[in-house]
A = this chain, B = another copy of it.
Amino acid sequence: MVKSKINKIYPPATIGVVGGGQLGRMIVFEAKRMGYSVVVLDPKGNSPAGQVADQQIVAGFEDIGAYRELAGKTDVITFEFEHISVEILELIENEGVKVIPSSRTLNVIQNKYKQKTMLKKIGVKVPKFSMVCNLEDLKIEFQRLNQKAILKTCTNGYDGKGNVIIKDVADLENAYHIFGEQEIFIEELIDFVKEVSIIVVNNDSGVFFYPVVENVHHNSILIKTLIPASLSHEVFHKIHIACEKIVEELNDSGVFCIEFFVDKNLEVLVNEIAPRPHNSGHYTIEGCETSQFEQLLRVVCGMPAGSTQLKTPCAMYNILGNQSVDGEYVVSELDAVLNIPNCYFHLYGKPETSNLKKIGHITALDDTVEAADYKGKKALELLTVRKRTLVSAVSNKT
List A residues at the B interface (Cβ < 8 Å): 7-14, 25, 28-29, 32-35, 37, 51-52, 54, 72-75, 289, 298, 302-304, 306-307, 309, 330-332, 334-335, 338-339, 341-342, 345-349, 351, 360, 392, 395-398
Contact = CB atoms under 8 A, between A and B. Distances in A.
Contacts of A338: 298, 303-304, 306
B347 A35 contact: yes
Contacts of A396: 9-10, 12-14, 75
Tell me what chain A mostly uses at the interface: helix, strand, loop, or mixed: loop
B289 A10 contact: no
A74 B172 CA distance: 54
B397 A341 contact: no
B349 A32 contact: yes
A75 B338 CA distance: 20
Nearest to A307: B341
Contacts of A339: 304
Given A334-B10, A397-B14, A397-B73, A347 B34 contact: yes
Contact of A395 (B33, B75, B307): B75
Nearest to A35: B347
The list of the 3 closest CB pairs from A to B, nearest first, reads A35-B347, A37-B398, A13-B396
A34 B345 contact: yes
Contacts of A52: 28, 32, 52
20 contacts: A8-B335, A9-B395, A10-B334, A10-B392, A11-B347, A12-B330, A12-B331, A13-B397, A25-B32, A29-B29, A35-B346, A37-B349, A51-B54, A52-B52, A54-B398, A74-B397, A289-B341, A289-B342, A302-B335, A307-B341
B348 A35 contact: yes
B13 A395 contact: yes
